[in-house]
Structure 1
Amino acid sequence: MYLGSIAVMLVSAFWTVDDFTGAVVHTFTLDNITRLFTDPLFGEVALRTILVAVTVTVIDVVIAVPMALFMSKVASPRGRIALVVAVTTPLWASYLVKAYAWRILLAPNGPIAFVTGGNTPGYGLTATIITLAYLWLPYMIIPVYAGFDRVSDSLVEASFDLGASTWRTIRSVALPLVFPAIAAGSIFTFSLTLGDYIAVGIVGGKTQLLANLIYGQLVTANNQPFAAALSLIPLVAIVLYLFAMRRTGALENV
């Protein structure tokens, strides 16, 4: 059913809309595809969206790796359980509640501005990246934690016995074994960022990402064929990303 809906979307990208009635005309045309590649606005937004997705993924990796390492190898059994609960509990909270919480935090007169003496990113691209990185962080921590948990303690002990430092052990022993789990988590953060339009609308200010343009064409402009054409960009991006991650063994860790 999912593949069928994708196929219908691909076909509808080559349809058009009657300018007078607004009805979809099932006549083959390349106008939508041509507009997609000739209007510089869509290329700019597509590049911005991919860069935001990459940035969010990198931020989540930087936070998740040391936290997952501590959870799996350093924390006591009780502490580990507490940390796992702390990481997974936000997943039970409403998406909108979390997004609006960040809107309050990032407001020009919000708590962050009060604590920092007026220094706050406000609403815009930076706020969008911060909010999305927070929203998808558990999806990165959980697979990375599982990856570190699978690293045998005997390998770590053997590395120390051979004279390796803690950093050398992490870099040369743990991280290569955990990299597929990191790649698996990045699939979630990258793809979820590509498709998000709600958080951008809440904290993004005037920032536009691809999902916002697609939503606008579908709901506001009532142009389903062009919305389908725009959807080809994130679809191609995530397919290429999945092919790249497949080579790392990440799909076995999803």
Structure 2
Amino acid sequence: MLPQSTGQTSTGAASSTPTATLTALAALGTAVTTGTVLYAADGEPVVAIWTDVAFWRDLELGVDDGADVRALEELLTALGYGDGLTVDDAFTSVTAAAVERWEADLGRLEPDGVVALGDLVVVPDASEVTARLLQPGDAVRSGAAVLTIASSAQVVGAEVDAEDVADWPAGAAVTVAWSDGATTAAHVVATGRDVVDGRVTLSVGFDVEEPGRATGTPVTVVRAADQRDGVLTVPVAAIVADATGSPSVVLDGEVRRQVPVAVGVVADGWVEVSGELVPGDRVVLPG
């Protein structure tokens, strides 16, 4: 479970031809928001949009209603082109006129009220340009990676059993327990779709950012719950990562020993555990 930045690489060229020439490229460190021009190919800009909607077709008069139309109209409204525009799933003549005004201000060569596939790139929130993979003047093939953008938000990747993934929905409250004994309130941001060795990866975001935590720091993520009776619990601060990064506790005795544990729900600073320990065992707390 590693604190890390999430990110994605923008792909696709603004030109429908097999190759185009890269004529502009956002600078390193550029803050990427809805409406940011990421690059231009053959003079045609490719623009960022914050949304969870996929763009899979050209958007123009005559297309069927869809969520992608609504996302486009939300973008137009956010950028100041929403006069008279109703944000809904229908692409109307008002939508086309707003697109044409936007295109003219972008500097498109022939504003026509059509948003072609590849004109918009979906990007993560609070992101910035972290790498320029090509330079202006380079040839760009359709689908080629042009630059990399990454989120600046802290996240933790955590694996759970695929059969338990329903218990970790997006938005669920969790606690991140650090190897130094500190804990941080957090929540599930997203659930992965791929199952690898019976496990699914979750993305967990902090309710409040944790400055100074290095990428690669081992952590344990536990679910929050109000109450769970008849289980063995230890203070959350007693959970430490072992050499493999898995959760464990250190038992106090004549000889201290580290014992791996499985963690469950957490409430009021205590976490459910199971493993080679029994009621009455004394656990070591940091410090």
Larger Rg: 2
Shared fold, TM over 0.5? no
TM-score, structure 2 length as denominator? 0.21
Return the structure number with greater relative CO, CA threshold 8 A, min gap 6.
1
TM norm structure 1: 0.23
Report which of the two has the higher share of strand. Answer: 2
Q: Higher helix fraction: Structure 1 or Structure 2?
A: 1
